[in-house]
């Protein structure tokens, strides 16, 4: 179990460094998903399967979909189509895919055959819900407002950029 923890931690660190060092947001996003999966494996190995599932559903699912939605909202014209074709090259997804395969093999190795956890205290959904909407309600609500402000800000910044680019192109044509 200790070796598995270190493997998942190394994968998480590598992917997190790759998130910071990528110029393309899609490359960074792909590595971010693998980093979230590595953290979910760590949660599972520490005896918190519910936290692992929440990590995958909330972060690797909802947050990534939100970021992709903002990217789609800000992309313009034909250059976006060419950019998407370049994102499909194997050089983009081969490293995150290999790291994800390592995590999958590790998770298969760690999963018990009888379906029970070998160590750790189980945390059920009710306890998590009571914590999130009890003592941490302020943090939950503030993070929701922050995400909404980010979406609205990205939309307005993208819209302004499109107007400025359109005016600039009109001046060049004159």
pLDDT over 90 for what percent of the chain?
3
171: left (phi over 0), alpha (psi -120 to 50) or beta: alpha
3-state SS assignment for residue 23: coil
Domain locations along the chain: 2-123, 124-174
CA proximity to 93, closest of 140, 12, 172, 30? 30
Burial class (CB in 10 A: 0-12, 13-18, 19+), 23: exposed
Structure confidence by residue, pLDDT tens digits, 111-134: 765 555 555 566 677 877 787 788
The pLDDT of residue 75 is 60
Q: Is the pLDDT of residue 164 over 80?
A: no
The answer regarding whether domain 2-123 maps to CATH 1.20.120.1200 reads yes
The pLDDT of residue 156 is 74
The pLDDT of residue 81 is 62
The pLDDT of residue 68 is 76
**Could you count the other beta carbons within 10 Å of the beta carbon of residue 48?**
20
Quote the pTM value.
Answer: 0.54
Give the Å distances, CA to CA, from 138 to 125, 127, 134, 154, 169.
19, 17, 9, 24, 46
Q: Is the pLDDT of residue 142 over 80?
A: yes
Task: Give the DSSP letter of residue 124.
Answer: -
The pLDDT of residue 66 is 78
Q: What is the DSSP string of 33-97?
A: HHHHHHHHHHHHHTT-HHHHHHIIIIIIIIIHHHHHHHHHHH--HHHHHHHHHHHTSHHHHHHHH
Residue 144 or residue 6, greater confidence: 6
């Amino acid at each position: 179990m200790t070796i598995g923890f270190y493997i998942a931690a190394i994968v998480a660190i590598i992917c997190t460094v790759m998130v910071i060092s990528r110029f393309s947001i899609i490359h960074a996003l792909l590595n971010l998903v693998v980093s979230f999966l590595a953290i979910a494996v760590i949660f599972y190995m520490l005896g918190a399967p519910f936290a692992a599932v929440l990590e995958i559903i909330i972060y690797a699912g909802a947050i990534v979909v939100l970021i992709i939605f903002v990217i789609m909202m800000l992309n313009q014209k034909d250059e976006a189509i060419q950019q998407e074709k370049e994102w499909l090259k194997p050089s983009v997804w081969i490293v995150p895919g290999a790291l994800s395969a390592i995590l999958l093999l590790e998770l298969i190795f760690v999963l018990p055959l009888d379906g029970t956890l070998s160590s750790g205290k189980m945390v059920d959904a009710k306890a998590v819900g009571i914590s999130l909407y009890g003592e941490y309600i302020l943090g939950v609500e503030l993070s929701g407002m922050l995400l909404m402000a980010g979406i609205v800000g990205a939309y307005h910044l993208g819209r302004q950029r499109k107007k400025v680019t359109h005016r600039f192109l009109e001046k060049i044509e004159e």
